[in-house]
């Protein structure tokens, strides 16, 4: 995103939706990509501020929805740079 308003924003909670009978694994994969990008964006936004250490282990929630089944996932970025996506809850 490159418009003036959204380039400095972080979307609060990603939601990956698939129709009834959709592929749950595909939804999780797409949620993982979205979460990794969001955590990287959060790191960039935090580097503009004063408290750069606040992001260590910062939990980032996201949802997968396949049909009528909603599942919560939590992701975070480790010190090594690896993004962990944990769930569903």
Q: Name the one residue in this structure whose structure tokens are 């129709």.
A: 19
On whether residue 78 sits in a domain, the answer given is: yes
- pTM of the full predicted structure? 0.79
> For the chain, what's the residue count?
89
> If DSSP states are collapsed to H, E and C, what string results for 30-84?
HHHHHHHHHHHHHHHHHHCCCCCHHHCCCCEEEEEEECCEEEEEEEEECCCCCEE
H/E stretch holding 20 reads none
Q: How many domains does the chain have?
A: 1
CB atoms within 10 A of CB 10: 13
User: pLDDT digits over 29-67, tens only?
Assistant: 999 999 999 888 888 877 777 666 666 678 899 999 999
On whether residue 45 sits in a domain, the answer given is: yes
On whether residue 12 sits in a domain, the answer given is: no
């Amino acid at each position: 995103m490159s418009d003036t308003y959204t380039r400095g924003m972080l979307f609060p909670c990603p939601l990956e939706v698939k129709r009834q009978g959709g592929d749950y694994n595909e939804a999780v994969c797409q949620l993982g990509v979205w979460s990794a990008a969001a955590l990287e964006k959060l790191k960039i936004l935090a580097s503009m501020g004063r408290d750069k250490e606040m992001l260590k282990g910062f939990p980032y929630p996201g949802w997968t929805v396949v049909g009528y089944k909603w599942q919560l996932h939590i992701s975070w970025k480790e010190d090594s740079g690896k993004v962990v996506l944990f769930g569903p809850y």
